[in-house]
Structure 1
Amino acid sequence: MTDRETLRIAIAQYACCPDPATNLDTAVEHITRAGAAGAQLVLLPELHNTPYFCQREDPALFDLAEAVPGPSTERLAAAARKAGVVVIASLFERRAAGLYHNTAVVLDADGSLAGRYRKMHIPDDPEYYEKYYFTPGDLGFTPIDTSVGRLGVLVCWDQWYPEAARLMALAGAELLIYPSAIGWDDATDDEAEQARQLGAWQAVQRGHAVANGLNLITSNRVGIEGDDNTEIRFWGHSFVFGPQGETLAEAGEQPELLVADVHPNRTEQVRRVWPFLRDRRIDAFDDLVRRFRD
């Protein structure tokens, strides 16, 4: 991808309903629209086949998990091939009985399975009980090679960790990609707190783009999901940042297919002026492998 002047990407931002078949239809519709808009890559939201089920702990919800590859990847691969786009999907992977992952699946423009990434950082917060469902990933921070370049795919909670973005960059990632599902609790988060959360979410990822000199794209879902006990309003605001943190495109809080052009060659230009990789003090970073320096 480094010899490509322009890469058109699309981010599918939409609400997910209780019916997985309908959600899969919606994903295919956005892939088709992205191809028609000239996109070469389309990013779907995190866990787009279902509502965000991690708001409660219920063993019956493991029935939502599916094999990878499997029926969903086959359907999405056919859509990718027909539209001629690379697709980053996000599925609840059933690896074996009792072993499940939050998995990003990359389908190349010819419909082939280019690779997968299993979410490494797993949250366990009120309304985000992911540790109950997901085993931490074991594939490492390894970019995935595709027809549009080497993709550094991470997932949601990973986006708060600069180490994850850095390791992808050091492994040769040419684009940082984060499918996400994040929102507010209107019962506890007032307007000021909502603004702080959204600002922090964007700021930390802007920092990853700048620190690594890479274009960065993030998706989110929209809409209100939950029941009488808990409710999340997913805030949307999917975005595209350039390698100096510049905002290339940003959605609002409504469903949208966000289309933007990124310029991969700018990584080379920016890193020549801001050579952060050159100046890293790798001889002084041993403590990064410790939980805390007492």
Structure 2
Amino acid sequence: MSRPSQPFTVALVQMRCSTDPDDNVRRACERLREAAERGAQVACLPELFRTQYFCQVEDSSRFNLAEPIPGPTSEALAQVARETGMVVVGSLFERRTAGIYHNTAVVFDADGSIRGRYRKMHIPDDPLYYEKYYFTPGDLGFQTFETKAARVGTLVCWDQWYPEAARLTALKGAEILFYPTAIGWHPAEKAEFGEAQANAWETVQRAHAISNGLFVAAINRVGHEGPVDGGLEFWGGSFLADPFGRVLARAGRDTEEVLIASCDPGLMEETRRNWPFLRDRRIDAYGSITQRFLDELP
């Protein structure tokens, strides 16, 4: 963290995902090339963009969707990174070995090399989000990757609700924290709870930007997936927030978009000087945070 980075341009690729994995990879690569043509130096795709969100059911045949890393999809993203000279963050269903699969974000540097990978740490198990069936919790910890464009931190979807994850990634020196995401409404709940759910999702991530003094980007998919009378309606709303929590760019709820925005790490310095949350942390008093709950037992 000794050197200040130069300003960099970010692209967030919000897309629909079809039932054809090859089509999804092709269209994702097209969007990435578009982002590079528009000046992006680092771009991020939604969570598990290669397929529709398969975790709505528990089906052992869907493990066949997983790939090793390196593998066909990672090679396709690496090729785009090499062609464009752009850093790419892609979310993949990783086959580590027989019976061990991860939800993994891979960071490709501008030369197409794999700079590193992050395996999703927090794994949900909720109606239509049966991820514990598919994903082994991550074992690589919270990381930051030095790339040509910026110091990049990656977390994935459900991780976005946990301040501990954002804090530890920030403490590793991240300038921007990417959250590849697949989150949507249960159609039966949308009318009553939809606005509140989407607002909470955005608010908690903007709070991570503020409390850590860094840029935060959330990249969601759009469209309805699953049964017509059920399934999930992904709510889009991808956005980039600055270190003060201000939204620099936001996508619509149901449109495919490539958001482009500029990030100046100098704003991190300015913000952290005036709101010195990292300076004033009482690291001597936080040991209890490693406990599940602070029961007062006799």
1:229–1:136 Cα change, 3 Å: farther
Residue type at the aligned position of 2:261:
A
Shift in Å at residue 138 of structure 1?
0.2
Shift in Å at residue 265 of structure 1?
1.2
* Aligned counterpart, 1:106: 107
Shift in Å at residue 149 of structure 1?
2.1
* Aligned counterpart, 1:251: 251
* Aligned counterpart, 2:226: 226
Q: Distance in 1 between matches of 2:230 and 2:158?
A: 20
Q: Distance in 2 between matches of 1:197 and 1:39?
A: 30
Shift in Å at residue 185 of structure 1?
1.0
Q: Is the 8 Å Cα contact of residues 142 and 168 (structure 2) preserved in structure 1? A: yes
* Aligned counterpart, 2:22: 21
Residue type at the aligned position of 1:268:
E
Shift in Å at residue 189 of structure 1?
2.8
Residue type at the aligned position of 1:138:
D
Q: Distance in 2 between matches of 1:79 and 1:229?
A: 38
SS in structure 2 of the partner of residue 90 of structure 1: strand
1:3–1:284 Cα change, 3 Å: closer
* Aligned counterpart, 2:83: 82
Shift in Å at residue 164 of structure 1?
0.2
Shift in Å at residue 5 of structure 1?
4.2
Q: Distance in 1 between matches of 2:43 and 2:190?
A: 31
Shift in Å at residue 228 of structure 1?
5.6
User: Bigger CA drift: 123-132 or 138-147?
Assistant: 138-147
TM-score by length of 2: 0.96
After TM superposition, the structure 1 = structure 2 runs for residues 193-232 of structure 1, keeping only pairs within 5 Å, are 193-227=193-227, 230-232=230-232
Deviation track 1:98-147 (CA, whole Å, cap 9, x = no partner) reads 00000001111111111100000000000000000000000000111211
SS in structure 1 of the partner of residue 187 of structure 2: coil
Shift in Å at residue 7 of structure 1?
1.1
Residue type at the aligned position of 2:211:
A
Shift in Å at residue 180 of structure 1?
0.3
Q: Note if 1:154 corresponds to 2:155.
A: yes
User: Bigger CA drift: 142-151 or 284-293?
Assistant: 142-151
Shift in Å at residue 241 of structure 1?
0.1
Q: Distance in 1 between matches of 2:212 and 2:92?
A: 27
Q: Any stretches of 5+ residues in structure 1 without a counterpart?
A: none
Q: Is the 8 Å Cα contact of residues 55 and 230 (structure 1) preserved in structure 2? A: no
Q: Distance in 1 between matches of 2:284 and 2:7?
A: 37
Task: Count the aligned residue pairs.
Answer: 293
Residue type at the aligned position of 1:65:
A
Q: Distance in 2 between matches of 1:136 and 1:170?
A: 21
SS in structure 2 of the partner of residue 46 of structure 1: coil
RMSD: 1.2
TM-score by length of 1: 0.97
